[in-house]
Structure formats: C-alpha cells, structure tokens
Amino acid sequence: MSDELLALKDVKKYFGLRGVPWQKAQAVRAVDGVNLVVRKGETLGLVGESGSGKSTLARVATRLLDPTQGRVEIGGKDVTKVKGRRLRPIRRRIQMVFQDPQASLNPRQSVATILSTPFRAQGLRPTRAQLVELLEQVGLAEEHLVRYPHEFSGGQRQRIGIARALSVKPDLLVCDEPVSALDVSVQAQVLNLLADLRDELGLSYVLVAHDLAVVRQVADRIAVMYLGTIVEEGPAAQVYESPAHPYTKALLSAVPVPEPGVSRDRIVLTGDVPTPVNPPSGCPFRTRCYKAEDVCATKRPVLEPVEGSTEHRAACYFPELPTSERTQ
Amino acid sequence: MAEPVLEVHDLHVTFSTENGPVPAVDGIDFAVAPGQTLAIVGESGSGKSVSSSAVMGLLPSNADVTGEVLLDGRQLAGLPNDELRKIRGNDIAMVFQDALSALNPYYSVGWQVAEAYRLHHDVPKKVARRRAVEMLDKVGIPDAARRADSYPHEFSGGMRQRVVIAMALVNDPRVLIADEPTTALDVTVQAQIMRLLDDVQDEFGTALILISHDLGVVAEVADDVLVMYAGRAAERGTVRDLFFRAAHPYSLGLLGAMPRVDVPPKPRLTTIPGTPPGPGSITTGCPFQPRCAYTHLVGERCITERPELTPRPGEGDHEAACHLGRRPEVIL
C-alpha cells in the first residue's frame, strides 16, 4: 500500500538474560511476533499493561533497537538493516517523544541548543526564526529559547520534547506515554496540542500508553498488546464499543469512570501477567482468561477478522460477539 | 453522617526552609466516619499528601503543624512521639503509593506483618505469625502460609501492595489512610486492590481516607470528596455533589480535563490554562484566580480577597470557596 508510513512484519525482540554458570541463559520475549501498519494521517494507539512490550515495540519501530527477528519498513522500504549514518533519512521521517521530559532533556543545554540538536544531526543549521516557529507551534514563545529545562514546569518540558521531535519535520511521531507524568489539567493541554499538530501538519502518531481513556481521546485505531503480542486491533470506536478479545474486554471494564453511580460490569482478572521469560503455551492470556478451554493451550491464536468487520481483528478462539450496533 | 472517628479542624502546615517559611497546607477541615470513604483530590503540590502525613505525625521536624486532629475526640496534633507511636499503625494506619519502598527487602513479608502486630500487641512470635498469615490470606495472597516466608522482591507490584495493606490492617485500625494506593499499578490490578479495600471496609468498618488524583477511582469508591488547590479546600461535598453539581471552577475544570473510556471522545478536552502552583505560592486572593476562566465575572475580589467555603446547593454539606456565588456555566 502506498499510504503505509510504517510497517512491522513479524517483529520479535528478545533480550538476553545473562546466564549464571549453572543455568541456561534465558531470553525475555519482550516482543514476540508483531505485525503492525501505520498509515498516513492516522493515530495508532498502542495500549497494554506494564511488561506487555509496547515500549520495546515503539523503540524497534523507531530503529532505536534492532529487532531480533522480522522487518521494519518505512515508506515501503525495508530499513531493518540500515545502520549508522544511513539511518539519518529515517530519523527525519520518524521522531520520538518520551515519557519523562525531565530525563529526556539535557539539563545543561538551553532550549535553543536542545532544539537545534536534531538539525545538526542532519547536518543542518537552523535559523533563529526556525527555532522560534517550533516553540510557537507548541505554545511556547521566543523568550523561552535562552532558558534551561529546570526553569519549566512538567507540561512545558513535554512541549519542548514535542518541539524537538517536530524540528526535522517528521511524518510520524512515536510518543511513549507522553502525558502519564503530568497532572490531569496539564495532560489535557498536551493531548489537545497533539490533536492540533495533527490537524495543522498532517502528522501521524503512534501513541503508546497504558491509560485507555487517554488513548480513546486521540486514537483512530487501537492495538492492544499482551505479553509481547497484539491480541486485538481495529478502529478505536469498534474496539472500545465492542471489544472482541476477553483481555480487551476485561481491561476496558477495569477502568474507573469519573461518574458516580455508573455501574460497570467489571471483569476482575485474577493473578498477574505471567513472565515474558516463560510465556504460557498457546494463547498468552489463557492463564487469566475467563473463557479459556483446552484448545487455548495448544496453539497460539492468530489475529482474525471479527464478525461483521474487516478492520477489526482479534487473536482469540472464543471472541466476544459484537454487543451492539456498531457506530461507523 | 454518623459520628466521625477522625476530625481535622483548621489544619495548617508550614515548612521552614532556607528560603523562609513555605506554607503547604493553609487551613483545611475534614472528617470521616466509620465505614465511610473520604477522598482528597488534588494535583501535585496541592497539599493533599502533606495533610495526611500531618494527621499521622509523619512530617519532618522542619514542619510546623497547627490545628486540631481529633481521633474519637482526642487531640493528636502535638502529642509527644512515643504517644503517637502507640496510635500510628494501631488506630490509624497508612498505605503508600510505592509498596516496594514501604517494605524492607531484608525480611520476609510474614515477618514484617507479624512485627507490625507485635509492636502493638504483647504476644509470642508464634501468635503474631499466625495472625500475619491470617491477614495475608485475607488480602488475597494465595497460599499465604507458604508465601509468608517469601521476600518482597519475589512478589509482583499488586501482591506487594496487598502485603502493605495486610500490614496496615493487622491491628484493626479505625482509620486507614491510603495515599495513591493504586497509582503505580496496572488497571486490572488496580481493580483488584480497590475491591479489596472495599471488602475490608465492609468487614471491619474501617474509615478510609483516599488520596488520589484519579477522578475515576474517586467516583467509584468515595462517599465524600475534598478538592484541594494550593493548600486550601476549593470544594467539598458528597461524591455526587462534586460530580453532578461542581461549584468551583477548578473542580469543573478537572472534570472536563479527564478523558473517559466509556463514551465516544469529545472533539477537545476542556483544559485549565497554566500549571498548578507549587507549595508556598499562597496569595492574598483566590489561589486559582490566575488560571480561572470565570474571574472576569467577579472582578477585583478574586485578586484581593480570599474566598471562604460557603454553602452550595447539594445533598449535604456541599461547600465551595469561590466568589462566583452560583454554579459556573461550562465554557468551552
């Protein structure tokens, strides 16, 4: 497809656990066979709980990590093996925004230096006007150029992180938990900013987040991860209105709703996420699933279209049936 | 409301620092009755955690605490430390956000829960251990008798938080203060812990003070809510007063800024401009005035005069501290 910005093909990322002499070295299967496509102009929400591999996947997609197996394609070109200097044109198309703006900004650099770094990495020299434009895009002003990260609040620092990512005019921003470190009132400001930038600049996003309400606010499409695999993906409205995978259903039902008296048919999962060192056989979710049967332990289910939809897919032997009329 | 077990009146906390005194809590009142849940809501720096630590007498020595903290009518503020120690962990217990740092990595969890019991009960170790296992079982640690010998690092985050709750509940406290107890946890585990706290309240009639920034959690478990801003009470009332009849622009702003998982998204979230003030930036007028969208409807008073809590329509003692006497209309 021509409008494919980013495609991940059967991507795996294993981290080696250093073996102790009397034990066999084991691997953490952080990402275990993921296929994913991001199209031009869309916002893909990548959700999952801690340890689901969503951040690792984001780092593989931005080529900050090399996949153990599989392919990363950008604009239809295989870039899995591209190294060093030749990565630059890729970095120009994909940029990343990190969770903790405190840790991802150098405290000894002024905002002007921080914002010029991506230009210099590309062998360019930004003009002052370019830097001011960047700041204005994210709601800051020229006077902020000479200041240092500690002089800003958390929300403003995140704006600087976003401005830095925008400096090389990327097509795709991969945002890893961009608002989870921020207060509620400030979080809303940053989410609105991301939406505005999308409309103004025609950006695409991959939004990695554990907060399902945040993702619903901005994403067009959702991919739900569990133990390194995608268990469900589809248009946001469909996934949120009628989740097909039992995990998605449980996850959504667990989110408290800010309205007293709203009764939720909550599915409280028992137990914890199993270790990615030794994931369960078959379906990774079967150990906590309320629908699991023998077949679930045999072979890992693959993503298959959910009844009545081509875009909405789930990896489950016993998917939930669509509950209500779909909002198209 | 039933007779409150814990009452706090006109609590002030000021830290003395190199840069002079920094007021963190500037006169707040709250009360909680047995079996009831009071949620204290606020953003970072609003003083919500400092207030609860002040109740527990857990603030560092540079904190100056004034006001009344009454447990069953008995004044706690200003009690000498050895008196307080008898109350802490016994009548009032606390659960913190980060369970890993609340547990000692050197001791088994069973030992730690038993120790919490032995601090307040003169019993042989064996008895305390039995009690510890019983509590671990109650908070849902599977195979508690065996797991009691495990160490904190062998537990997951959710299980650790269960251990901390077991430790807090081992002496049947009358009041449990939970400071962001589920913030560090995944949402499916959060649901487990909130259900556990609910069961505990049903069984023991514990009064719960829940400190949280998550309005979803608050809507679900709280009976009463206190909204704090810059060390002061912005609004208080029942949970329905706050969510359906919010009278303070800040409360309204917070509600509008929360994205929701259960309904299709709004085109834009309503936002509150600016950022929450840090501790110490207490002003003469309304602390929220610089960020308030309604201040033009009132004028000078917002800058010159500190608004006091005044009664608002609602179910009970609904009060808000805002010069705009009526319910603010939603501005988009």
Mean pLDDT of B231-235: 93
Q: Which of B227, B269, B292, B332 would best serve as a mutation to test chain A binding (most A beta carbons within 10 A)?
A: B269
Q: Is A210 helix (H, G, I), strand (E, B) or coil?
A: coil
Using CA atoms, how far apart are residues B61 and A268, in angstroms rounded to an integer? 43
Nearest CA in chain A to B215: A258
Listed in sequence order, the DSSP H helices in B141-263 are: 144-147, 157-169, 187-204, 215-221, 239-244, 249-257
Interface of B with A in 162-181 (CB under 8 A): none
- DSSP E strand stretches across chain B: 6-17, 20-32, 37-41, 63-71, 74-75, 92-95, 175-179, 207-212, 224-229, 232-238, 310-311, 319-320
* C-alpha A28, offset from chain centre: 20
Collect all residues of chain B within an 8 Å Cβ-Cβ radius of residue A153. 275
Mean pLDDT of B78-88: 88
Q: What is the pLDDT of residue B277?
A: 82
End-to-end CA distance of chain A: 23
Mean pLDDT of B150-178: 91
Whose structure tokens read 């009664």?
A: B311
Specify the DSSP element, H or E, that contains A38: strand A27-39
| Contact flag B219-A256 (C-beta cutoff 8 Å) | yes
Q: What is the pLDDT of residue A264?
A: 74
Using CA atoms, how far apart are residues A55 and A13, in angstroms rounded to an integer? 11
Nearest to B191 among A154, A195, A266 (CB): A266
Q: What is the pLDDT of residue A325?
A: 46
Q: What is the pLDDT of residue B282?
A: 58
Q: What is the mean pLDDT of chain B?
A: 90
In the A/B pair of chains, how many CB contacts fall below 8 A?
132
Res A252 pLDDT > 70: yes
Using CA atoms, how far apart are residues B8 and B228, in angstroms rounded to an integer? 14
Res. B1 pLDDT band, cuts 50 70 90 = low
| Contact flag B216-A213 (C-beta cutoff 8 Å) | yes
Specify the DSSP element, H or E, that contains A37: strand A27-39
Helix then strand then coil, in percent of chain A rounded to 5, is 35, 20, 45
Q: What is the pLDDT of residue A248?
A: 95
Between B269 and B113, the higher pLDDT residue: B113
| Contact flag B43-A256 (C-beta cutoff 8 Å) | no
> CA of B243, closest CA in chain A: separation in Å?
6
Using CA atoms, how far apart are residues A58 and A208, in angstroms rounded to an integer? 7
Using CA atoms, how far apart are residues A15 and A28, in angstroms rounded to an integer? 5
Between A228 and B274, the higher pLDDT residue: A228
> CA of A240, closest CA in chain B: separation in Å?
8
Q: What is the pLDDT of residue A19?
A: 67
The pLDDT tens digits of the residues spanning A68-114 come to 999 999 988 899 999 888 888 888 999 999 888 888 899 999 999 99
Res A326 pLDDT > 60: no
Mean pLDDT of A284-289: 92
Q: Is B259 on the interface with A (CB under 8 A)?
A: yes
Q: Is B100 on the interface with A (CB under 8 A)?
A: no
Strand partners for B23: B14
| Contact flag B186-A49 (C-beta cutoff 8 Å) | yes
Task: Count Cα neighbours of A236 within 13 Å in the Cβ-side half-sphere.
Answer: 22
Q: What is the pLDDT of residue A170?
A: 94
CB A134 within 8 A of CB A169: no
Specify the DSSP element, H or E, that contains A175: strand A172-176
Res B184 pLDDT > 80: no
Q: Is A328 on the interface with B (CB under 8 A)?
A: no
Question: Starting at the edge strand that comes first in sequence, how are the strands of the sheet with A4-16 ordered?
Answer: A27-39, A4-16, A69-74, A77-78
Mean pLDDT of B256-270: 88
How many beta carbons lie within 10 A of that of residue A116, not counting itself?
Answer: 23
Nearest CA in chain B to A249: B188
| Contact flag A268-B220 (C-beta cutoff 8 Å) | no
Using CA atoms, how far apart are residues A139 and B98, in angstroms rounded to an integer? 34
How many beta carbons lie within 10 A of that of residue A95, not counting itself?
Answer: 23
The pLDDT tens digits of the residues spanning A298-325 come to 999 999 999 878 899 999 999 987 765 4
What single letter denotes the amino acid at residue B141? I
Q: Where are the domains of chain A?
A: 225-328
Res B330 pLDDT > 70: no
Q: What is the pLDDT of residue B19?
A: 84
- The whole model's pTM is what? 0.88
Nearest to A184 among B43, B157, B266 (CB): B43
Burial B156-169 (b: 16+ CB within 10 A, else e): bbbbbbbbbbbbbb
Res. B332 pLDDT band, cuts 50 70 90 = very low
| Contact flag A252-B239 (C-beta cutoff 8 Å) | no
